[in-house]
Amino acid sequence: MFKKTFFQIHWFLGITAGLILSIMGVTGAIYSYEQPIQRWLNPDSYTVKVENHAKLTPAEIYQHFQVQNPEMKINSITVAKAPEEASNINIVKEGARRGYTMMVNPYTAEILPEVKGKDFFQFIQQLHRNLTVGEVGKQITGASTLMLIFFVLSGLYLRWPKNILSNSGLL
């Protein structure tokens, strides 16, 4: 009787949390490919024509932007190692937790076209982390993740034979 009731609880909670865990798994897989997808969708933003002179240093890029736009507050400048890769500049965005990233030609400090698809990947990230419903979603995804441990242990218990030495074994 106990095992049958326990199975029903395991099954019901497994279906419920399994849906959430599936969403988290799919969105996590999509999000893990953000960089390759972004590079494929935005070749003009991520690659530049290699020039005969050296790339500008981060200090030179910083100075260029301070002359062009003195009110711009720069968080960081990243210069890629590969000669054909664009640099990026992270700028302070008022009222935002994170800054705004611009792609820049490392040879000329020219601003490259804006990266398309950022909003899609921000949505995917929010869906993965909190089901796009803020703090409540964060609690739901956390509880579902903890329930996964329960499912593994209860599944082992439910699958375990009454007599381990019987012919049927574990499979």
The pLDDT value recorded for residue 164 is 66
From residue 127, how far is each of 32, 34, 90, 159 by CA, in Å?
14, 14, 24, 33
Q: Please, which residues have CB within 8 angstroms of residue 76's CB and are 6 or more apart in sequence?
A: 89, 90, 99
Q: What is the CB-side half-sphere exposure of residue 50 using CA atoms within 13 A?
A: 6
Q: What is the mean pLDDT of the chain?
A: 91
For the chain, the domains span 1-44+116-159, 47-114
Could you tell me the two tokens for 43? 């070749």
Beta-carbon count within 10 A of 25 CB = 12
Q: How many residues does the chain have?
A: 171
pLDDT tens for 82-98 read 999 999 999 998 877 78
User: Does residue 103 register a pLDDT over 60?
Assistant: yes
Give the whole-angstrom CA distance, residue 92 versus residue 89: 10
The pLDDT value recorded for residue 171 is 55
pLDDT tens for 29-77 read 999 999 999 999 999 999 999 999 999 999 999 999 999 988 889 999 9
Closest among 69, 60, 65, 66 to 107, alpha carbons compared = 60
The pLDDT value recorded for residue 167 is 57
